[in-house]
């Protein structure tokens, strides 16, 4: 269908939405409606100015010099480690390891821990419709080491089926891999309830890529052993992330890479020293800790639960929109701002392309999870009800112009 045949759609805001004005990219582009936050979020002023301050006051290589700026860089990194440890409720900042993002962190769990600790016949609980960054590292290691993957299922609403999960635990289960918020379903899984059904000896590996900006996590209290997340999905920069590790597994991990800073690597070193080879991405690290502060500072104003309710209420009412997961109006409080759908008679790529012509950015495809081809809307704190209405009205228009 030619785009020019669609009627014009007005994108209008009533006043300036208060959180949006903290994001320069959105202020500069008032005609853009950004709904691909599950892929990457925009960066707020608070994060930009923290990095500006660090980089503008003398960049040096942390841990590689004894002059003042090198010491300052080291202090910056250690302070960020401790801010992040507090943010995720982990006692002791030594368990915060900087990585390039969730994918690297999840691979590190498999290669630095699983490869050395797991034995042939050991069992791993895994959901095969989770993101490939979670599933593939274990599928590959399992082939090599004769580990057994025991797949568990989601309910039709996209939440983890706890009784199915529990039923798959055996004496040989060593690890349970869980995604806090699945990137296509958006259901907020209850990590405490999951920990409660696992025997103590089973280690809990959580992919928090989608959850970290939405739901507070308390690693120690919730009994989480590994927690992975990416800066670019939580208002920080790309190319930085963390793997946070509980005390009980820290001694059983081995370096994955070797390089600068590791010649004197000793068994008693803190875990981050064993896992962070080479020069650190200090600007990225500063952005990550500033993003943690930003998330905490804006929690009280966070409009996401009412935006999510509004989004689902509209979409559930339209018979031409088919949701990938079945949701009931009474359960909408369990959802973060992710909604995946197809529009009757349209290919998902075609819908995304038409929306793009109108300045509405969404994701289309199988979302690195092998699920059905669909369009994904993912909200963040700067989105508004007005934007959701504009999207919804445009989808109606697209459908009617085609029919």
Closest by CA to 287, choosing from 244, 234, 214, 243, is 234
Smallest gap, in angstroms, from Cβ of residue 238 to ligand PLP? 8
Q: Which is nearer to ligand PLP, 13 or 257 (CB)?
A: 257
Site for ligand PLP contains 210 (CB under 6 A): yes
Within its chain, how far is the Cα of 299 from the centroid?
17
Site for ligand PLP contains 207 (CB under 6 A): yes
Q: Which is nearer to ligand PLP, 39 or 277 (CB)?
A: 39
Site for ligand PLP contains 103 (CB under 6 A): yes
Among 63-71, 128-136, 280-288, 306-314, the segment contacting ligand PLP (CB under 6 A): 128-136
Strands (E) in 59-196, as ranges, are 96-99, 123-126, 148-151, 173-179
By CB under 6 A, the residues from 329 to 348 that bind ligand PLP are none
Q: Which is nearer to ligand PLP, 101 or 337 (CB)?
A: 101
Closest by CA to 303, choosing from 19, 54, 90, is 19
Residue 180 has what DSSP assignment? S
Q: Which is nearer to ligand PLP, 202 or 234 (CB)?
A: 234
Given a contact cutoff of 8 angstroms between Cβ atoms, the answer to whether 203 and 109 are in contact is no
Smallest gap, in angstroms, from Cβ of residue 130 to ligand PLP? 7
Given a contact cutoff of 8 angstroms between Cβ atoms, the answer to whether 80 and 62 are in contact is no
Among 59-67, 127-135, 308-316, 394-402, the segment contacting ligand PLP (CB under 6 A): 127-135
Smallest gap, in angstroms, from Cβ of residue 131 to ligand PLP? 4
190 CB-near residues (< 8 Å, 6+ apart)? none
Per DSSP, the residues of 263-305 read: TT--TTS-HHHHH--S---HHHHHHHHHHHHHHHHHGGG--HH
Token pair listed for 32: 């853009």
Smallest gap, in angstroms, from Cβ of residue 39 to ligand PLP? 6
Give the burial class of 120: count Cβ atoms within 10 A of its Cβ; 0-12 exposed, 13-18 middle, 19 or more buried: exposed
180 CB-near residues (< 8 Å, 6+ apart)? 188, 189, 191, 206, 207, 208, 210, 211, 212, 215, 217
Smallest gap, in angstroms, from Cβ of residue 230 to ligand PLP? 3
The residue from 118, 209, 249, 343 that contacts ligand PLP (CB under 6 A) is 209
Site for ligand PLP contains 230 (CB under 6 A): yes
Place of tokens 């495809």: 365
The residue from 111, 133, 222, 327 that contacts ligand PLP (CB under 6 A) is 133
Q: Which is nearer to ligand PLP, 233 or 394 (CB)?
A: 233
Site for ligand PLP contains 99 (CB under 6 A): no
| Cα(87)–Cα(101) distance, integer angstroms | 17
Site residue total, ligand PLP (CB under 6 A): 14
SS3 117: helix
Token pair listed for 49: 């100015």
Among 204-212, 304-312, 350-358, 380-388, the segment contacting ligand PLP (CB under 6 A): 204-212
The residue from 179, 327, 336, 383 that contacts ligand PLP (CB under 6 A) is 179
Site for ligand PLP contains 101 (CB under 6 A): yes
Binding mask 52-91 for ligand PLP (x = CB under 6 A): ----------------------------------------
Per DSSP, the residues of 17-39 read: -TTGGG-HHHHH-TT-EE-BTTT
By CB under 6 A, the residues from 232 to 271 that bind ligand PLP are none
Site for ligand PLP contains 376 (CB under 6 A): no
| Cα(399)–Cα(402) distance, integer angstroms | 5
Residues that bind ligand PLP (CB under 6 A): 38-39, 101-103, 131, 133-134, 179, 183, 207, 209-210, 230
């Amino acid at each position: 269908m030619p785009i020019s045949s669609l009627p014009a759609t007005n994108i209008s805001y009533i006043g300036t939405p208060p959180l949006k004005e903290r994001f320069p990219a959105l202020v500069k582009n008032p005609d853009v409606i950004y709904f691909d936050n599950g892929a990457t979020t925009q960066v707020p002023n608070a994060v930009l100015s923290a990095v500006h301050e660090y980089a503008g006051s003398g960049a040096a290589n942390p841990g590689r010099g004894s002059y003042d700026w090198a010491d300052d860089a080291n202090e910056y990194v250690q302070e960020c480690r401790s801010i992040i440890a507090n943010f995720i409720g982990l006692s002791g900042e030594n368990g915060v390891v900087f990585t390039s993002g969730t994918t690297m962190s999840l691979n590190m769990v498999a290669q630095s821990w699983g490869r050395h600790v797991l034995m042939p016949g050991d069992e791993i609980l895994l959901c095969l419709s989770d993101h490939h960054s979670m599933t593939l590292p274990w599928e590959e290691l399992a082939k090599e080491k004769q580990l057994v993957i025991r797949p568990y299922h989601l309910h039709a609403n996209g939440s983890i089926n706890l009784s199915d999960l529990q039923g798959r635990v055996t004496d040989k289960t060593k690890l349970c891999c869980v995604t806090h918020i699945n990137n296509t379903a958006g259901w907020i899984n209850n990590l405490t309830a999951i920990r409660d059904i696992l025997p103590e000896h089973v280690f809990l590996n959580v992919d928090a890529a989608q959850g970290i900006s939405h739901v507070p996590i308390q690693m120690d209290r919730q009994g989480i052993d590994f927690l992975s997340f990416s800066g670019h999905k939580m208002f920080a920069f790309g190319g930085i992330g963390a793997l946070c590790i509980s005390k009980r597994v820290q001694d059983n991990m081995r370096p994955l890479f070797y390089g600068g800073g590791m010649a004197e690597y000793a068994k008693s070193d803190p875990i981050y020293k064993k896992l962070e080879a080479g020069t650190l991405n200090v600007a990225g690290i500063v952005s990550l800790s500033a993003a943690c502060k930003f998330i905490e500072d804006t929690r009280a104003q966070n409009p996401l639960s009412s935006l999510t309710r509004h989004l689902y209420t509209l979409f559930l009412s339209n018979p031409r929109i088919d949701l990938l997961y079945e949701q009931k109006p009474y359960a909408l409080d369990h959802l973060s701002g992710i909604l995946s759908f197809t529009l009757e008679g349209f290919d998902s790529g075609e819908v995304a392309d038409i929306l793009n012509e109108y300045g509405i950015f969404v994701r289309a495809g199988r979302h690195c999870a092998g699920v059905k081809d669909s369009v994904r809307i993912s909200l963040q704190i700067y989105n508004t009800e007005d934007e959701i209405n504009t999207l919804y009205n445009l989808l109606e228009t697209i459908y009617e112009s085609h029919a």
